[in-house]
A and B are shown apart, each in its own frame.
Chain A
Amino acid sequence: MRWLFFAIFAYLALALDLGLRSLLAIDAGVGPITPSLTLILAVYVGLWAPSRAVAWAFLILGAATDLLSFWPASDPGQPLGNILGPTALAYLVGAYAIIQIRGFVYRESTLAMAVVAFGVGAVIHLVAMLLLTLRGLPFPLGEPIPNWHVADEFIRRFLSLLYTAVAAVPVGMAFNRIYPGAWIDPLKGAHTFRR
């Protein structure tokens, strides 16, 4: 895994996600829905990179997503803040999921990439929602996120996933023009993925 290329593309994906949020957002009634270029990048890396690199890449992208997501504090007087962990862990679970299924996917297909992005994204969002919802249980924390409605969040994330899957088609086409060797050191035998 050539981490420099990954770093460059991760930087671009995060910058695009952050900068184009207002432009690409669609109001769906339960909140704005936006595509996640970070997820698309993660899926692409997940389809091509070695397992260990996939885990680290997903963890890094998940942690970065956590740091760019702001939540209200339980005390109304406090400003918004970040919770480092839920999305990072969710991405880690997503890494495990993509490693399991990528053997059955035709990686060069843009449509397959969109479908995998939707599937893996669903796993990631479900785990993230689970962890964020568990914060509201009396044990261990008992501090729910203000205005957290599971149903609304579920719908919003589902619609965002659909949006991401649609965006994965053109982005995937662009990614597929990049020779995977730019990411992966051929001496490591990346084309024989070890699980």
Chain B
Amino acid sequence: MLRLINQKRVLILLAGLLLVSSFLPSRLAFPLAAGPAHTLILFLAPPSDVLKRIGDRVRRPPLDAAHEDAAQVRRDRDKLLQYSRRLEQEVFEARQAIDQLTRMSRNPELAGIKFIPASVTAWPPGGAPALELNRGSRDGLEPGMVVVSDMNLVGTLAQVGPMSATVRLVNTPGSVVGVRIVPPVAGPAGPGVVARATVSPNGQEFWAESVDADKVKPGDLAHLDDKLLPPEARAFVVGRVSRIEPLPQDPLLRRRVVFSPIESLVHLGQVFVIMPVRAQGNPLAPNR
């Protein structure tokens, strides 16, 4: 029997066993090799653990660099926070624009009117009644076009360049604008009270003096009604009546209606330029 056993045959036998072991399912192969593997690793542990510690120390940065990593983590976090806030602001502005467009789309008087969205790029210092927009003649803008925000009148285009435009705000001191004061009802406004309003010296309010103040009450809306402006702009609101007060020049007999813009005109971010119906289809066609 012992003559049958030699190194070659033992090698062949071991090779056969290893071949079978190579094709055992993991639920059998793993337990089979677990014991020898753990024994071998335990046997190799003393030098290999030392070498692992040396290797980790060489590869990993020291404690001071770990603090730098923490500082870098804080910087990355701050950058992401800023980015997140920018995104939130953009989402907020987008939602506002959606709300505006929704309200505008529901107004039947605006059917057939084309709106060109524009962003406000500059607010003149000192609260001067003008805005700069990022659209110009290349987008079909022309001087005199009405600029609105939501359903509120902002002003008219004073100067138009190729890629920018200046808006003369409706509350420019010295301006006079025709309005029609109506109660705040949904849908098209009724006949209301027609008046000519002037801008107060500080530019914050409109004063309508020659008006039948008995028919007006606080909260009423002053819609644009000026023949010098395009007819499609008449659906838009100039301001809301804030009070009715005695006229300083004739306090006993006359009163003036004071109304102010619904939203601040110098803090706008997104506005719309109304393209007159006759100019649609040809952005470069003359206005009137």
Nearest CB in chain A: distance from B44 CB, A = 5
Q: Is A178 an interface residue (CB 8 A)?
A: no
Number of interface residues of A (CB under 8 A): 41
> Whole-angstrom distance from the CB of B23 to the nearest CB of chain A?
5
CB neighbours (8 Å) of A71 from chain B are 26
Q: Compute how far the CA of A89 lies from the CA of B37 in the bound complex, rounded to whole angstroms.
A: 17
Residues of A within 8 A of B33 (CB): 66-67, 81-84
With contacts A67-B33, A84-B32 known, is A20 near B40, CB below 8 A?
Answer: no
Distance in Å from the Cβ of A133 to the closest Cβ of chain B? 11
Complex contact A143–B40 (CB within 8 A): no
In the complex where A78-B26, A131-B22 touch, is A15 in contact with B51 (Cβ < 8 A)? yes
Binds B, one of A39-47, A52-60, A106-114, A116-124: A52-60
Nearest Cβ on chain A to B28's Cβ, whole angstroms? 10
**Cross-interface CB contact of B37 among A12, A19, A67, A134, cutoff 8 Å:** A67
Q: A56-B11, A84-B32, A143-B26 are in contact. Are A19 and B52 (CB under 8 A)?
A: yes
User: For the complex, is B15 an interface residue (Cβ under 8 Å from A)?
Assistant: yes
Chain B residues with CB under 8 A of A18? 41, 44, 48, 51-52
| Contact between chains at A74 and B26 (CB < 8 Å) | yes
Partner of B7, one of A52, A73, A89, A143: A52
- Check B21–A141 contact: CB distance below 8 A: no
The digit string for B8-29, where 1 denotes a CB below 8 A from any CB of A, is 1001001100111111111101
Is A23's CB within 8 Å of the partner chain B?
yes
Contact B47 A19 (CB under 8 A): yes
**Complexed CA–CA distance, A92 and B22 (Å):** 14
Contacts of B29 in A (CB 8 A): 81-85
A-B contact pairs, 7 of them (CB 8 A): A16-B48, A55-B11, A59-B11, A59-B14, A64-B40, A66-B33, A78-B27
